[in-house]
Amino acid sequence: VSSLPLAIIPNSIVTRIISRSYSFLKKGNAYIQFQYSPRSLAPLKRVFDKVDVKFTAINVPPALVYVCWKK
C-alpha cells in the first residue's frame, strides 16, 4: 500500500515509481495507491493491466483508493 503524494511528484519520477512497482509484482497481485487527487489515475492506467477506483467518503478529506492489478 502506497500513500506517496504522486500528484506533486514530477511525472517522470511518478512513471518510474509506478513502473518499478509493477515490475516487482507477481502476476495476479495488486498495488494499492491511496490519494486525495484523481490526477494519479492516468499514469496508473498506462502501466497496470487493470485499475479499480474506490472512493472513500468517510475519510477526512475524502480519498481515492486505486487498486492496480498485474495480470
Q: How confident is the model at residue 14, as a pLDDT?
A: 96
Provide the whole-model pTM. Answer: 0.90
Q: Where are the beta strands (DSSP E) in 9-61?
A: 30-35, 50-56
Q: How confident is the model at residue 59, as a pLDDT?
A: 86
Which residue ranges in the chain fall short of pLDDT 70? none
50 — phi, psi (to 5°)?
Answer: -150, 140
Task: Specify the DSSP class assigned to residue 60.
Answer: S
